[in-house]
Chain A
Amino acid sequence: MTVAAEERELRDDELNGLELSARLRSIWQTPSGLLGALTSVDHKVVGRRYIVTAFAFLLLGGLLAILMRIQLAGPEKTFLSADKYNQIFTMHGSTMMFLFAVPVMEAFAVYLVPLMVGTRNIAFPRLNAFSYWMFLFGGCFLWISFALNVGPDVGWFAYVPLSSLQYTPTKRPDVWAQMITFTEVAALAVAVEIVVTVFKLRAPGMTLDRIPLFVWAMLVTSFLVMFAMPSIMVASTSLILDRLVNTRFYDSSSGGHPLLWQHLFWFFGHPEVYIIFIPGTGMVSAILATFARRPVIGYPVVILSLIATGFLSFGLWVHHMFVTGLPQLGAGLFTASSMLIAVPSGLQIFCWLATLWDGRPVYRTPLLFVIGFIVIFVLGGLSGVMVASVPIDTQVHDTYFVVAHFHYVLIGGAVFPLIGAVYYWFPKITGRMLSERLGRWNFWLAFVGFNVAFFPMHILGLIGMPRRVYTYTADMDWAHLNLLSSGGAVIFALSFVLLLVNVIMSLRSGTLAGDNPWNASTLEWATSSPPPPQNFDRIPVVKHRDPLWLDNASLPVVAGLSVERREMLVTSLAEAEPQIREASPEPSIWPLLTAIATSVFFIGSIFTPWAVLWGTPPMAVTLIGWFWPSGSKEDEE
């Protein structure tokens, strides 16, 4: 209160136009140079890095898939040894799940959510920077280990007792388990940031029923992350304890049990699928509204479906364990609960179909990928209903039928929307359009390649081909379909090469996008492309679910935020009424240093339990540095 008596600091209601813009830019921008890059806490800078890194892991994981498809293209091939193949399929699954699918969705949220809710930065931006470094270090740790022939080889699910010290006396499972810890720390951090950003940093007037569907999807996803990830961290940490200090969580001869691992793993593992899929649905809703030229039909239905999916996803992990000898009635109940998730998923599909039915579709590349999504995902969902049935699952479990099913769900349900999202938001992120001509080629190659690669796998599973076999004999009749599948995989891979080419060419010479090239309705399109460091010169006021369609010419704004220091507007949870002004942190090197100290601690602790002891003081030091009071104006208040 003493501030009011002193000279009032400069606020944005006293400036206008270019001067306001320049002032805000100078206080919000990331410092230049290497140090600037390492200290940045701008959600756009971190989000961009996150997206690029996750796509780099996609390329690596895809490369492994191609190696596997070469090995399986014919019977008894010796292109890969059993040992290499087992490492490669483990690396493929782990990379795609932990280093690509979950991070890339969170990365898009890190970039887009603050823009879509109309604020200047994500909540806890230093935690955000820390999260990125942890993700990067965890991913590099896994891949460097793989390059050193210490890549995990016990499957991305690492079932005990195979992954126990007795049956795998190498460091490989430890690398896997600790990579989990890295990526889970990163994922949990982002989840917390997204929830707080959505709950407390929305533009005034963006009531709960005006939040864009993509933001809703990321909010639900973030809650799933917070409830599911602790389960896998408990699992992987106790696995390391079993291996390193001889605890007996999973040792059946000492009262532990291997099935404990499976319960913990799948209690995480099944929601994990929805952690990947729900953001995909958010992207679909965003793209569909823009290109069908109308709001998505059934906004409340879609949101309730997302929330219902989130809840149901925690009640069906047992369908991964139907052949472990569970009680029959219990297993039957999990059949019903697994199939039940078809209801909210179906409702969303029906809403999208109705939207397309009424809209005036503009067939640009993002919409093509959404249409591809519907065709592929529905097929994957229906094969999911099949594998949910106990008797059917006893046959198709751990066969290529399941491989086909979850690639239809994950690639159809998440990667197709994601590539659509790349085409859709690339102009916002870079300021340039991707080539539409290459985009169409990209879509058709992806659509045809995907189906040729994965549809035959349904049949392969039914004619007896189990998963995770590095080879098969010629008399098994699997050769032709495998060759077909490998051919499809090459076409599918080409589509990603084309995407890469398109991105590189468009970065150099794509058409300039302008603020809102698609004439979309949400707030990220109200600022320039790429957005300035402060996102918006003035915080918008939202009076409608589709603010930019209401009247693009005059978006109302609020004024009164400082132009001398980083300041954001905090609003109430339900009604988004302005509550207080809140300082937002300056760039800092401490998140990076903390991440380095944490990484040393994590990696050291797979070699010696003493790392827990000597690894902690450096972490404490960096955390003290991180939270040291900076003597900013807000601290004084």
Chain B
Amino acid sequence: MPVRMRTVLVPFATLPLAACAGRQSVLDPQGLQSHQILNTLFIFLSLAAVVWIAVVIVLAVGMLRRKRSADQPLALHQPFERAAGRVVFILGLATLAIVLGLSIVSYAGQRTVFAKDEHALTLKIIGHQWWWEVRYEDDSPDKSFVTANEIRIPAGQPVKVELESADVIHSFWVPSLTGKMDLITGQKNELQFTAKSAGVYRGQCAEFCGLQHAHMAFAVLALPPDEFGRWRDRENQGASSPTDQLGKQGEQLFRARGCALCHTVRGTLAGGQLGPDLTHVGSRTTIAAGTLPLTPATLGGWIADPQHIKPGNYMPKMPLQSDELIAILHYLEQLK
């Protein structure tokens, strides 16, 4: 039944809303799960619209219709009272039937959305104030790696994310792929979804998690499966050594100026665990958990004064000379 209703409703239901759909939108479903949810939503929405319009019409007619003439508040017309009682009773039963029906529709949708696939690609996402740690884990350690704020997945294949938190409660939400799920301290949650086609889908933390909750976004990049395989192989390798003098200087400064205390660059001596893994930072599209697009200018500005761009985040402003900044920037850009 849900499917049949959908084919009827979608054409006119999407029309006024289509204009509003953006890349982080419930109304722009690009995943199997988000599509199913939107179907359920349309069933509810159309019923709600019908009920609301009916109530407003009854209200309007009730206000406008010609009334009994006597102004004796207690002189009631008994046949009307009885009829009104019956109508109220029937409408109450109708309400009951509707909510029971909707409960079943809802549960059917829920079963589909939360259906599990044994063969899903599994990755672990750990929420931090205010960024996302993404761990691709494999039985063999040399195929496991860590990245941040960007989640690459194969398009068309089911993906399972295991959700944990390193500090407070966060919520993982990519509306165009599926509904949200909380990352809760001391608890392991999981969520499965499938991107129907390749593309970039923005997500954002949906549970208030402190000062910079507003700046805790991420991107899901669904790649064609073979491209995903190539990316995974590349990501699996450590950082490429800098080739030029400036880059080498940058690598050395990265350790000397304290960056390595918090950040890891695999394949080098930098092994800090507090901040995002920067092994392939140069290949990412945004910085500071989706706060800014990654360009030399924004990255330089971020390193120079992270507190200006995202006040209160846990990356301190380090005292750097401008030539030191340029060297570090040059080094990071090479970490593709």
Give A contacts to B, CB under 8 Å. Answer: 81-83, 86, 154-155, 159, 161-162, 167-168, 252-253, 257-259, 293-295, 297-298, 301, 323-325, 328, 331-332, 335-336, 339-340, 342-343, 346-347, 349-351, 353-354, 356-361, 371, 374-375, 378-379, 382-383, 385-386, 388-399, 459, 461-464, 466-472, 476-477, 481, 521, 546, 549-550
Q: Contact: A346 with B62, CB < 8 Å? A: no
- B178 to A, closest residue via Cβ: A394
Q: Contact: A374 with B55, CB < 8 Å? A: yes
Q: Contact: A82 with B99, CB < 8 Å? A: no
A/B pair count, beta carbons within 8 Å:
265
> Which 9 pairs between the two chains have the least Cβ-Cβ distance?
A394-B179, A252-B186, A464-B24, A469-B214, A325-B189, A389-B106, A357-B62, A382-B48, A339-B99
- A341 to B, closest residue via Cβ: B99
Q: Would you list 22 pairs from A and B whose C-beta atoms are within 8 A, ordered by A residue?
A: A82-B312, A83-B211, A159-B208, A336-B100, A336-B103, A343-B96, A350-B87, A357-B62, A357-B84, A360-B68, A378-B56, A386-B48, A389-B40, A390-B109, A390-B110, A392-B44, A398-B208, A463-B20, A463-B24, A464-B204, A469-B213, A546-B73
For A392, list chain B residues within 8 Å (CB).
Answer: 37, 40-41, 44, 106, 109
Docked CA distance A349–B171 (Å): 37
Docked CA distance A395–B21 (Å): 14
User: Which of A252, A347, A385, A399 is the one whose CB lies under 8 Å from B206?
Assistant: A399
- A301 to B, closest residue via Cβ: B88
Question: Would you give the shortest CB distance from B21 to chain A, in whole angstroms?
Answer: 6
User: Which of B20, B96, B171, B209 is the one whose CB lies under 8 Å from A162?
Assistant: B209
Q: Contact: B186 with A257, CB < 8 Å? A: yes
> What 1/0 mask marks residues of chain B from 1 to 32 whose CB sits below 8 Å from any chain A CB?
00000000000000001001110111100000
Which of A293, A343, A371 counts the most chain B CB atoms within 10 A?
Answer: A343
Q: Contact: A83 with B95, CB < 8 Å? A: no
Docked CA distance A472–B88 (Å): 47
Q: Which of B74-82, B225-233, B241-249, B294-302 contacts A (4 or more CB under 8 A)?
A: B74-82
Which of B59, B99, B202, B312 counts the most chain A CB atoms within 10 A?
Answer: B99
- B92 to A, closest residue via Cβ: A347
Does B45 count as interface, using CB distance less than 8 angstroms? yes
Q: A354-B87, A392-B44, A463-B21 are in contact. Are A259 and B184 (CB under 8 A)?
A: yes
Question: Would you give the shortest CB distance from A402 to chain B, in whole angstroms?
Answer: 10
User: Which of B21, B62, B95, B107 is the one whose CB lies under 8 Å from A342?
Assistant: B95
User: Which of B87, B95, B207, B311 is the one whose CB lies under 8 Å from A343?
Assistant: B95
For B121, list chain A residues within 8 Å (CB).
Answer: none
10 additional A-B residue pairs with CB within 8 Å, beyond A252-B187, A394-B37, A464-B24 = A82-B312, A86-B211, A161-B185, A293-B71, A294-B76, A354-B84, A375-B59, A385-B48, A466-B205, A476-B22
Q: Contact: A335 with B312, CB < 8 Å? A: no
User: Which of A155, A349, A463 is the one whose CB lies under 8 Å from B22?
Assistant: A463
For B20, list chain A residues within 8 Å (CB).
Answer: 459, 462-463, 477, 481
Question: Would you give the shortest CB distance from A210 to chain B, in whole angstroms?
Answer: 13
Question: Would you give the shortest CB distance from A472 to chain B, in whole angstroms?
Answer: 7
Q: Contact: A162 with B208, CB < 8 Å? A: yes
- A344 to B, closest residue via Cβ: B92
Q: Contact: A389 with B62, CB < 8 Å? A: no
For A550, list chain B residues within 8 Å (CB).
Answer: 74
Give B contacts to A, CB under 8 Å. Answer: 17, 20-22, 24-27, 34, 36-37, 40-41, 44-45, 48, 51-52, 55-56, 58-59, 61-63, 65, 67-68, 71, 73-74, 76-77, 80-81, 84-85, 87-88, 91-92, 95-96, 98-100, 102-103, 105-107, 109-111, 113-114, 129, 163, 167-169, 171, 173, 175, 178-182, 184-187, 189-190, 202, 204-214, 311-312
Q: Contact: A323 with B41, CB < 8 Å? A: no
Q: A360-B68, A375-B56, A395-B26 are in contact. Are A471 and B80 (CB under 8 A)?
A: no
- B214 to A, closest residue via Cβ: A469
For B178, list chain A residues within 8 Å (CB).
Answer: 394
For B22, list chain A residues within 8 Å (CB).
Answer: 463-464, 476-477
User: Which of B45, B87, B186, B208 is the one whose CB lies under 8 Å from A253?
Assistant: B186
Docked CA distance A161–B187 (Å): 13
For A81, list chain B residues within 8 Å (CB).
Answer: 311
- A81 to B, closest residue via Cβ: B311
Q: Contact: B76 with A382, CB < 8 Å? A: no
Q: A293-B73, A394-B181 are in contact. Are A328 and B114 (CB under 8 A)?
A: yes
For A346, list chain B residues within 8 Å (CB).
Answer: 91-92, 95
Q: Contact: A378 with B88, CB < 8 Å? A: no
For A258, list chain B residues within 8 Å (CB).
Answer: 169, 184-187
Q: Contact: A340 with B99, CB < 8 Å? A: yes
User: Which of A332, A394, A471, A546 is the one whose CB lies under 8 Å from B180?
Assistant: A394
